[in-house]
């Protein structure tokens, strides 16, 4: 694709540069046809697309999103206890079923799937943040 765009641009420049006209009377004509009702690839100007890697999630961003998720969770009675080091059962009073629901909400929040083996190890906000940061496809 990039090769085709470069060749197209070189052809356009050579058409303009090789005309035997004086500089004062030189007119620039477009290198592609005027738009018509049906667009074909040969009539459209070539372009190049540049893609970059997605920016990774930062620790404060992940931690904030998880804390907001927990503050909105119905079973968390005291939102003041939600902090970066909160344990789901010890600090927030969640049972094992609630912890599973929190992990499922985290999966949905970050558009990832957490395998059961790793989900069993997530019992605090710190562990959740650590797991999310280790996943390259989390967003």
- Residues with a catalytic annotation lie at 95
CA angle 12, 15, 18 (to 5 degrees): 140
Distance CA 72, CA 79 (A): 9
Distance CA 124, CA 107 (A): 15
């Amino acid at each position: 694709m990039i090769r085709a765009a470069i060749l197209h641009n070189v052809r356009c420049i050579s058409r303009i540069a090789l005309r035997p006209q004086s500089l004062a009377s030189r007119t620039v004509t477009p290198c592609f046809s005027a738009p018509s009702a049906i667009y074909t690839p040969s009539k459209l100007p070539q372009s190049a697309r540049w893609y970059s890697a997605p920016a990774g999630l930062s620790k404060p961003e992940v931690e904030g999103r998880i804390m907001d998720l927990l503050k909105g969770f119905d079973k968390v009675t005291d939102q003041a206890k939600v902090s970066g080091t909160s344990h789901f059962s010890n600090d927030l009073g969640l049972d094992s079923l609630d912890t599973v629901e929190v992990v499922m909400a985290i999966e949905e929040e970050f558009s990832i799937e957490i395998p059961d083996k790793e989900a069993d190890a997530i019992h605090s906000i710190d562990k959740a943040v650590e797991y999310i940061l280790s996943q390259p496809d989390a967003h």
